[in-house]
Amino acid sequence: MSVWSASNPIVEYATMPEASDPSEQHVLFARQPIFNEAREIVAFELLFRPKDGGPMPSPFDGNRATSTVLLNAFTQGDLQTVSQGKPLFINFTAETLCTNLPFDSDKLVVEILEDTPANDETLSRLAGLKQRGFTLALDDYTEPGAEHPFLPLVDVVKLEYPHYCSEGFRQVVRELRQRYPAMKILAEKLESEEELECCLDAGCDLFQGYFLARPQVMQGEAINADRLAILQLIATLNQPDVSTRDITTTIERDPALGVRLLRIVNTAQYQRLSAITSLNQAVTLIGTQRIRSLATLLALGDMDDKPVSLQQLAMYRACLCRELAIHDTALAEKAFTTGLFSYLEAFFNRPLASLIETLPLHPAIQDALLERAGPVGALLETAIHLENGDWGQIPWERLAPLGIDAIGVSEANQRALAEVNEMEASGGL
């Protein structure tokens, strides 16, 4: 089905902390419908609004506004209610276009602001987003013709109707249609039936404005926009085909993260004959999977509103899952990542399933996290029961094919505790 198809409108550590009180409601964003020629809703634009419902801040930070809308829309746990199964248009500044987007390309329309510079870097970034399957829209178009450098890349152009006279509007629609017959033309800022009829007669495909529907404020539990950067970092680090160089470059963008990571890899658990002195050396010697999992853990630890004990809990569970599978390297690395990511819900106060949707995880890790399925799921289940002191609930029948018995579980637990204690002592956690 086309994205423009319409449907009917409208142990030693503390236990995991509980999520925030859901009764604490803030403004998440405003949602304005986009209609087709039959006046059916086919998409929504999400617009930034201050969480207290007050006036727009001055000066206005477009980058932070985009981050806030993205994070609230795609990780607030009820995306289906927000989108009604339709695409969501969100404004992107030049800077936010250059960040990694850990979101589903089927749901997000990247709306390019009119003041975005049309330089080689931006054009390359847009081409990359297009290749990944994102729909691109050009906002507030006021040009007299069809010469804008972004037009060959975009799927939708939003014409600012009030800017044109009647004949000028018809002319630009004709030129756009002739040059880019597959592109959708959206008329925006419509305020009367007469304006809508004019745009219909001109041949526009989509329509938006106060006459059709005003933005509706959506409320819920707001979260810090800075966490989008953490999600983006996690998504980049955990790309299935990420290269050693990409991992190193990503970590190098955060010097404090790099220093803490080097401190960890120089602890007794990872110590080599000589100290590891560079990130590239660390990735090469320790392995890409281990490094990106450790970097993910440290990034999560940067959430100021979360206790240090939560980071320790996540690290302990990750280490325990890995130590349980110590004789199978491939399984052990998947288990480490699974144990670590099983705590994402506590860090973000969002359902685990909605967070996992934004991350390109191995299917075995996804299945283990969501269903406790497969060998990795058996290790995660074991770790959780061991943390809770439920020795009798450990799935021994699932561990037996993996060669794990009661002695193995006990020894793995001791190694995991020792590793976390070593990291704490070194200042890595």
354 vs 148, higher pLDDT: 148
| Stretch 324-332: mean pLDDT | 89
Pick 27 or 63 by higher pLDDT. Answer: 63
Q: Do 235 and 268 belong together in one domain?
A: yes
Q: Round the average pLDDT of the chain to a whole number and report it.
A: 80
Same domain, 269 and 200: no
Lowest mean pLDDT among 2-16, 272-286, 347-361, 375-389: 2-16
* Mean pLDDT of the 379-391 span: 91
Do 260 and 179 lie in one domain? The reply is no
Q: Say what the pLDDT of residue 358 is.
A: 66
- The pLDDT score that the predictor gives to residue 81 is 72
* pLDDT tens-digit map of 257-295: 676 677 666 654 555 556 667 777 777 776 776 676 667
Residue 14 above 50 pLDDT? Answer: no
How confident is residue 178, by pLDDT bands cut at 50, 70 and 90? very high
Q: Output the pLDDT for position 15.
A: 34
Residues 318 and 215 in one domain: no
- 236, 254 Cβ separation under 8 angstroms: no
pLDDT of residue 323: 93
Residue 266 belongs to a domain with what CATH number? 1.10.3210.10
Percent of the chain with pLDDT over 90: 38
162 upstream amide cis, omega within 30 of 0: no
At 391, give phi and psi (nearest 5°). -55, -40
If asked whether residues 255 and 274 sit together in one domain, one would say yes
Residue type, 337: T
Q: Are residue 193 and residue 260 in the same domain, yes or no?
A: no
> Rounded distance, CA 183 to CA 152, Å?
9
The answer to whether 219 touches 25, Cβ cutoff 8 Å, is yes
More confident of the two residues 167 and 352: 167
Confidence of residue 245 (pLDDT cuts 50, 70, 90): confident
Q: Are residues 249 and 373 in the same domain?
A: yes
Which residue carries 């007669």 as its tokens? 201
Residue 43 confidence (pLDDT): 94
pLDDT-based confidence at 23, cuts 50/70/90?
Answer: very low
Rounded Cα distance between 371 and 54, Å, is 42
235 with 119, same domain: the answer is no
Summarize pLDDT for 82-121 with one digit per residue, the tens.
788 899 999 998 888 877 666 667 888 999 998 899 899 9
| Residue 80 included in any domain | yes
Q: Is the pLDDT of residue 171 over 70?
A: yes
Lowest mean pLDDT among 28-42, 178-192, 357-371, 372-386: 357-371
pLDDT (0 to 100) of residue 18: 39
Q: What is the mean pLDDT of residues 301-327?
A: 82
Whether 6 has a pLDDT exceeding 60, the answer reads: no
What span, in angstroms and rounded, lies between the C-alpha atoms of 118 and 103?
24
pLDDT digits (tens, 9 = 90+) for 183-217: 999 999 999 999 999 999 999 999 999 999 999 88
Q: Does the pLDDT at position 69 exceed 70?
A: yes
Q: Do residues 320 and 412 touch, judged by C-beta distance below 8 A?
A: yes
What burial class does residue 245 get, using C-beta atoms within 10 Å of its C-beta: 0-12 exposed, 13-18 middle, 19+ buried? exposed
Residues 272 and 171 in one domain: no
> What is the CA angle 324-326-329, rounded to 5?
125
- Exposed/middle/buried for 224, CB within 10 Å: 0-12, 13-18, 19+? middle
Domain with 139 in it = 26-220
Do 306 and 337 belong together in one domain? Answer: yes
- In a domain, residue 256? The reply is yes
- Say whether both 106 and 131 belong to one domain: yes
**Cα diameter, the chain:** 83
Does residue 403 carry a pLDDT above 90?
A: yes
**Statement to judge: residues 170 and 142 lie in one domain:** yes
Buried b / exposed e along 130-140 (16+ C-beta atoms within 10 A): beeebbbbbbb
Q: What is the pLDDT of residues 360-369, one digit of tens each?
A: 678 888 899 9
The SS3 assignment for 112 reads strand
The 10s digit of each residue's pLDDT in 246-259 is 777 777 766 666 76
pLDDT tens digit string along 122-132? 999 999 999 98
Residue 1 has pLDDT above 90, yes or no: no
Q: Identify the domain boundary among 171, 197, 220.
A: 220
